[in-house]
Structure 1
Amino acid sequence: MGRMPPGKPPAGPFTPLDFQLVLLRRMADHNPGPVEDARRALGASAADLREANKRWQAMLRSPRSRPAATRYRSVLGTPESVVPRRVGDLDCEAWQWPLPLWPDLRFEVLVAPDRAVWNEWLVRAPGAPVPVLRTLEDLTPWSCTVDEAARAFGPARPLQGSAPTRWGLAFTAPDRRGVRHEVVAEFTWGLLQRTAAGGRRP
């Protein structure tokens, strides 16, 4: 009987660890340092991160790709919570999962009655301490979510993200001296990555 040709063994199931690496891969464009620290904390190599992202993209683009809601359940398991949510005039469900890398956050997916996914991002976990956001200096990478920044410095204007899974907000925020600035905040998977302060406002 002939020997099997050499090759890479088939990949195992896509796990919650792999999914966290996918989130980190998107964040690495803005914050490579914290991403490297987080990757090491997960016990993963740079090659693991690249491979996880490659597999995730292949799943999204496959002609046999499952609906997004089914895919998240397959990867992350049964949601920790499923809560009815009303968005405008439409009813949906908010599915949430814990992720070890961010214990104070939950990965949330908004699922329509037809099981279409409307939104997918990180939000603050129920009962977790909410960050104190008073000045521009409080807006450090990974310090807050989209909703938290919008509430703290409202009214905020949503901006189109530079890529899928990215969001932007424009608002005014004071610095420690009380001088107000026009600010653009960029988020990846709902988590703050960086801010850019423009001109001052009276």
Structure 2
Amino acid sequence: MVPTPAGKRPAGPFTPLDFQLVLLRRMADHNPGRVEDARRELGASPADMREANRRWQAMLRSPRSRSAASRYRSVLGEPESSVPRRIGDLECEARQWRLPLWPDLRFEVLVADRGVVWNEWLVRAPGAAGPDLRTLDDLTPWSCTVDETARAFAPARPLQGSAPTLWGLAFTAPDARGRRHEAVAEFAWGLLQRTAVGDR
């Protein structure tokens, strides 16, 4: 039997742990220190994170890849909840999964007709108290989701992200002294990563 190289887990099923590492990998460019702490909390090494991301990308690009909706069910298991939802003219099914790293959030996938995934991101868990967002100082990394920020500082204008799992919002909000600023919030997988502030 060939020994497994140190620090590298043998290949096996892609698990919820691996998926959390994929989410963290996208967030690492924004908050490397926070991601490092989360990775250690999961008991994973940097090599584990790189390997999880490599395998996830390979699944996405495989010509024999299953549908996105089937892929999430295969990786995360049966959803904790699955309810119909209507967004404008779009009728879809909102499927949510619990992830240990973010107990007050759920990973939500919106599945439209024929199993097409319309959106995939982190949202506040049903019944969980959301943040009290009043000023720019309240917008700390990982504190809130896209929809929570958009509601708190309406009207917010969505911005195109540099990757499918990145979003942005442009809005005006006060600082702690009441002075209003133009701001842009950046999100990865629906979770706030950083906020850039300018003067108005």
Q: Tell me if TM exceeds 0.5.
A: yes
The Cα of 1:163 is off from its aligned counterpart by 1.5
The Cα of 1:113 is off from its aligned counterpart by 2.1
Counterpart secondary structure, 2:173: strand
1:158 counterpart residue number: 158
Where do 1:1-202 residues align within 5 Å?
A: 11-200=11-200
In the aligned structure 2, how far is the partner of 1:141 from the partner of 1:99?
Answer: 18
Mark the runs of 5 or more structure 1 residues left unpaired by the alignment. Answer: none
In the aligned structure 2, how far is the partner of 1:123 from the partner of 1:10?
Answer: 32
Q: Which has the larger radius of gyration?
A: 1
Q: Any idea what the Cα deviations from partners look like across 1:152-183, whole Å, max 9, x if unmatched?
A: 00000000002220000000010000000000
Q: Any idea what the Cα deviations from partners look like across 1:37-93, whole Å, max 9, x if unmatched?
A: 000000101110110000000000011111000000000000000010001112100
The Cα of 1:7 is off from its aligned counterpart by 8.4
The Cα of 1:6 is off from its aligned counterpart by 8.4
Percent same amino acid at aligned positions? 83
Mark the runs of 5 or more structure 2 residues left unpaired by the alignment. Answer: none
Equivalent residue letter for 2:137: E
Counterpart secondary structure, 1:154: coil
Counterpart secondary structure, 1:114: helix
In the aligned structure 1, how far is the partner of 2:44 from the partner of 2:3?
Answer: 25
In the aligned structure 2, how far is the partner of 1:7 from the partner of 1:136?
Answer: 48
Q: Any idea what the Cα deviations from partners look like across 1:15-53, whole Å, max 9, x if unmatched?
A: 000000000000000000000000000010111011000
Equivalent residue letter for 1:49: M
TM-score normalised by L of structure 1: 0.94
The size of the alignment, in residue pairs, is 197
Root-mean-square deviation (CA, aligned residues, Å) is: 1.5
